[in-house]
Structure formats: C-alpha cells, structure tokens
Amino acid sequence: MSETRGFMFPRSATGKASLVPAPPWHYSGEMLTIEYRTDPAAVAELLPDPLLPAEEDPGAVAVVWAEWQSCSDSFEELLDPVRSQYSECFVVVRCRYGDRHYSRCVYIWVDKDYAMVRGHHQGYPKKLGEIHQTHPVRVGRAGPRLEPGGRFGATCSAYGRRLIEATFTIEEPSENAGFVNALPMLHHRWMPAIESDGTDSLHELVTMSGYDSEVGPTWRGSAEISLFESPTEELDRIRPREMIGGYWREVGTSWRGGTTLEA
C-alpha cells in the first residue's frame, strides 16, 4: 500500500493534485462593506445553539464584497494568477458564545473551487456564485477615484439569479471599516454522517483570526443595498430596515489555523 499526500482532497502520490495547499495562506485585496440593520429575530434564527445574539445592536448585518489575490507559503500561485485570484461576497452578523462576542459568516458565495473548499475547512458555508465590484482607478475615467464623491457598485448572483446589489459613495476617510465584521470569526464545521441518518460525523465550533494583518486606505460613506428572493436562498428574511453605511479599504492578512471550542 502506498501513502497518499495532500492537505485536502484529492490526495495523491505527491500531493500535487490536492485542491488546496497546506497553510499558511496569505491574502491581499480590496473590500467593500455595506452595513445595515434588519429584524433582530431574523439574525437570531441563523444562530444555532449554543450561540446567542449580540447584546448591543443584535440586528446589525454586514455584506462584504472582496477581490482577493492569495497564495501559499511557496508564493508560486502568484506567477500562475488563475490559481491566486478570486472574488467573494459574504454576509456577516455578530453573536455571543460564553462571555465573548464574535463575528459569524452566515452566507457566502465565491467564484473559484479552491477558495470554496479552503473556506469549508475554516467553517465558512461557501457556495459558488458570480461576484463583481467596481475597482478604483488612478488614471483615466473608467472608475472612481479614492476621494470624496467616488462611486462604487457591487453585485452577487448564483444559479442565474441576482441575489444582492449595492452602491457606495465615498464621503470621507475612516479609521475603521465598520463594526459587524471586526471581531474574531466563530464558525461551525459540519459534515453529515455517511449513513444519512440525521447525525453528523463532524460537528465542531471553531474560532479563528488572521495574523500579520495590514490595512491600507479606508473610506466610509453612504450606501444602498437590495437583497432579492431566490428558490435556493433566504436573503429576503434579512432585508434591511435601516442603513448604517458603507466602507472601502485595502487589506492584507495571513491565516495559519484556528481553535476548536466545542466538538
């Protein structure tokens, strides 16, 4: 019997075929964050036991668009950009576990398979989708400048249906990019048992955060967002009741691993 290698599937003789290389993973990108308030009860229904709603502003939601360039410690993916560049859109709420507050990704769409499977390892409930956002420019007229008045748009679609669309207009520099997605992440890692009897062969509550993080220019301003009905999604249950605002920033971070809190 031979020994197969690889961080994720498929494992093979050398490990080269693995869809995801071993951590650490490094990320650099642009993030557009739209924050709003919805019905707190709609957020609470997305929090399985033993999680509880945030003590303050329990109906706060962030929808984040991110364009990433990512790589492993070999950095070889940067010379083969199809393996390093991807986009995603994710919905974040806040919750309590014990005496601490966390951010939690409840929905997320991504446009590359390796990014989806890498997210599953971390507990992100990633699905495939189509994600687009406006890029700022330094020359020409085909894009906004990073200055007051710069206008951005963003969309997320899946299975041929538009799920989310948003606009953002820069008003002023900001020291942060909002509060909903600003805490360590708290996720579940689930895998149903092969017997399909309603039990899970993997059921873990995990937390994680990055390291060596860097933040570039950050801007805030006014924003609008619309969430649409779909036969495969439930975004209409968390439609906005009140807008908070929008943020744009450049960010870089690295990730090595997390911590299992319950299993």
pLDDT in tens, 78-99: 999 999 999 999 999 999 999 9
Q: Which of these, 55, 100, 74, lies nearest to 205 by C-alpha position?
A: 100
Question: CA–CA separation, 100 vs 185, rounded Å?
Answer: 11
We report the CATH number of the domain holding residue 66 as: 2.40.400.10
Residue 247 domain-assigned (yes or no):
yes
The total number of structural domains that make up the chain: 1
Q: Has residue 1 been placed in a domain?
A: no
Structure-block tokens of residue 149: 């008045």
User: Bridge-partner residues for 88, per DSSP?
Assistant: 66, 110
Residue type for position 82:
V
Q: Residue 47 is part of which domain span?
A: 25-255
pLDDT-flagged residues of the chain (< 70): none
Does residue 118 form part of some domain?
yes
In a domain, 128, yes or no: yes
- Asked if residue 3 belongs to a domain, the reply is no
pTM of the model: 0.97
Q: How far apart are the first and last CA of the chain?
A: 32
Rounded Cα–Cα distance for residues 177 and 50 (Å):
28
pLDDT of residue 2: 81
Note the pLDDT tens digit of each residue in 127-166.
Answer: 999 999 999 999 999 999 999 999 999 999 999 999 999 9
